Amino acid sequence: MKQRIKDFVLGMGVDDVGFTSVSDYHSPRSPKVDSMMPGARSIIVLAYRELSTCESPNMRIAMNGRMDVMDFSRSCSYKLARFIEKELEGRAMTIGVSYPMAMEQETGGSVGELSLRHAAVAAGLGVMGRHNLVIHPELGTRVLFTAVLCDLELASDQPVTAELCIDCDICVEACPAGALDEEGLTNVNKCLGRSQPWGIGGSIKFWSKFAGSTPEQQKQMLIDPHYWRLYQAQLIGFQYNCFNCMSSCPVGLKR
């Protein structure tokens, strides 16, 4: 059955796929799998190579490439879930890249419903690097993941045991927010403050200032480029303004 699923997934153009039983998946912060899908037994993790656009100095182009991957990945996850339910007579639920997630003060809007990084490692698709991103044996750091939860009994793939991170600290030095200074930890507040200037934090600051401003000041605020970027980010999810941890990593970089 695993081979049938793998053939189907790779046939869609997905770069790699791995399997882990729910019991072998562990995340320090994300909710338990049964809170999303009671009776889930397995997690199928799909891997997608990030386009070279993530290395563009133009963040609008870089984010557009990320959105391309996200759109493609949503389609592939949905098709796999349909295949499981239609052809394999199982139950399946999809988990997309990043969104949606619980947006609440307790989590800071930074905890996924399923930790795709930890799921990918459990499914034998890579290891954590110094940047706290997954390094795939062939794709390197430039890789994104989605997952499909299902009630099929699928054995976990063997974990990657090779040391793929070369400990060069380039990612640490390239982080403009200093979010990777402490090994093994990404300071999410520092990261989001720099990588998502038009995210929820930027929105709260803008509208708080707007509410206390005079009509003339409000008029000026609404024609300021910052508001226009905030509007675009909220309208289409065009948020990220930094890909340095991924784009600076030499592991898997195409020459």
Residue 52, in any domain of the structure? yes
Q: What is the pLDDT of residue 252?
A: 84
Give me the sign of the Cα torsion angle 188, 194, 196, 199: positive
Q: How many independent structural domains does the chain possess?
A: 2
Task: Report d(CA 227, CA 55) in Å as an integer.
Answer: 26
Q: Are 159 and 122 in contact (CB under 8 A)?
A: yes
Residue scoring higher pLDDT (184 or 107) = 184
Q: How confident is the model at residue 211 (pLDDT cuts 50, 70, 90)?
A: very high
Domain that includes residue 201, residue range: 170-247
Interior angle at CA 176, CA 133 and CA 162, nearest 5: 25
Predicted confidence (pLDDT) per residue in 109-123, tens digit:
677 889 999 999 999
Q: Are residues 20 and 67 in the same domain?
A: yes
Predicted confidence (pLDDT) per residue in 130-162, tens digit:
999 999 999 999 999 999 999 999 999 999 999
- Three-state SS for 49? strand
Predicted confidence (pLDDT) per residue in 32-52, tens digit:
999 999 999 999 999 999 999
Q: How confident is the model at residue 86 (pLDDT cuts 50, 70, 90)?
A: very high
Q: Are residues 179 and 98 in the same domain?
A: no
Q: Are 23 and 122 in contact (CB under 8 A)?
A: no
Mean pLDDT of 190-205: 88
Residue 4 is encoded by which pair of tokens? 């049938």
